[in-house]
Structure 1
């Protein structure tokens, strides 16, 4: 995968990540107390799907493009609703373009006045673009830093509740092992936070090793969520993506079980497309 997320913005992996992210934020908003959001690899914040990088790959056409103007069943639409609302709001603010919100923009648009966002991005150009996208929003702090470093230094937040999104580029060998180790350390520091760990799905052996490492972390509550657009067969081909969610909101599992299978079929690219929703710990 290419670290510059603009090549992949709005693809099927983004759909899973951002739909679940918006659902988690909606749950956080159900309580009046403020929350904190930490994004370890934030990217640019907003992406132009008609820009050179997005057009070069065209991946968004098999992601958000498949769901534009398409109505699914009630359970699937309930999952998609918060995400769709953010996309619609961004489009209303920028008529005439085709923009897609990354995770920072989704959370920023859903955050309340008292909530706080801390966004990490180590690529200088992407960090500058992220700062521009976030504008002068006082709730948001953008830092040009390696997110792994921030994860160790910035937990626990003063709000004592909130969400950490760990979404590395997976360009270097051993990134899954690094993520498992980093999560294990982080949840010992802040065991009550909600964590969402995103990963690509290519090699089933890598998936098994990662899940074993996460189980060994000792986290009390873990939910495995995956969306496959085809059955994994070639370890060089992205067949799907997954999220490991620690301390998931209490209705999230049931909501995903009800609606995610239809979303997976809507995004299918070959035989074996499916959704996986499984409790790994804390049943």
Structure 2
């Protein structure tokens, strides 16, 4: 639990992940029935971009900094950009919304947000961030225990975000096992699993392992900003989405292409493909 996201908050990987997350939640809002969001690696909710840590890396400048205050490069990015603007009401980019804040911005009065965070300090910060908010529950809990403890939700609709820091060498395997167990408990939920794109072979092994679970209707969305296997810290960002909303694949092709055109890149591109079709 040594990973501190403040150094990376608002970078291109965050932008891609949170833009897609906001878009999925926007789809869930179309129907009046309530939904639940379970965020298994919640972090602290918001990040101070003026802090010493964020200023040390300035990663946000090549991510959200390329979008904030400008016209949305694609209409589908509006829910995400609205969430960023909401915590920067004076029009100056000082804070970045983590996934809990992205989710909270999408909730209607009938919806609910469950946040899991294992790091004691971060869990405390989350409780402070959402104090007196009856629609948000914060639990200091291991992510994969949270999948067992909180699924299926009473709402019967919703999104599970699994977004590990990848501190553990077996994180890909843990994600596969966690997804398989969660899907058995709640097969109709939408699941979004974020993964870093560094070495392509590791990503292939992860995707093949998920495919072998037999889970149907799995979409892969990737945005890369460097050529494959350049051995840099991070070449790109991927999301494996189970039960994606209708026509999300078509929307993501345009959304991610618009992001790739705005973000600083030395190559890479966009890929939206089906790992497993609908059964």
- TM-score bracket relative to the smaller structure: over 0.9
1:104 maps to 100
Indicate the SS of the match to 2:74.
helix
1:257 maps to 253
1:270 maps to 266
Mapped partners of 2:261, 2:128: distance in 1: 36
Mapped partners of 1:250, 1:95: distance in 2: 34
* Structure 1 residues 228 and 95: CA distance shift in structure 2, 3 A: closer
1:58 maps to 58
CA contact (8 A) 2:13 2:236 kept: yes
Aligned length: 278
2:184 maps to 188
For each residue in 1:42-61, what CA deviation from the matched residue of structure 2 results, as whole angstroms up to 9, or x when unmatched? 00001111112211211111
1:120 maps to 116
- In the TM superposition, residue 9 of structure 1 has moved relative to its aligned partner by 0.6
CA contact (8 A) 2:69 2:91 kept: no
2:22 maps to 22
Indicate which of 228, 231, 239 corresponds to 2:227: 231
Mapped partners of 2:99, 2:68: distance in 1: 19
The CA RMSD over aligned residues, in Å, is 1.7
1:29-178 aligned at under 5 Å gives the runs 29-71=29-71, 76-92=73-89, 98-178=94-174
Mapped partners of 1:106, 1:226: distance in 2: 20
- In the TM superposition, residue 71 of structure 1 has moved relative to its aligned partner by 3.5
Mapped partners of 2:150, 2:114: distance in 1: 9
CA contact (8 A) 1:79 1:260 kept: no
TM-score with structure 2 setting the length: 0.95
Mapped partners of 1:190, 1:68: distance in 2: 36
CA contact (8 A) 1:228 1:268 kept: no
For each residue in 1:67-112, what CA deviation from the matched residue of structure 2 results, as whole angstroms up to 9, or x when unmatched? 223346xxx42121100111112212x7766111111011112101
* Structure 1 residues 97 and 63: CA distance shift in structure 2, 3 A: closer
Runs of 4+ in 1 over 3 A off after TM superposition: 69-72, 94-97
Mapped partners of 1:70, 1:109: distance in 2: 20
CA contact (8 A) 1:122 1:146 kept: yes
- Please state if 1:201 is matched with 2:183: no
Indicate the SS of the match to 1:255.
helix
* Runs of 5+ consecutive residues of structure 2 not aligned to the other structure: none
1:280 maps to 275
Indicate the SS of the match to 2:87.
helix
Mapped partners of 1:11, 1:236: distance in 2: 15
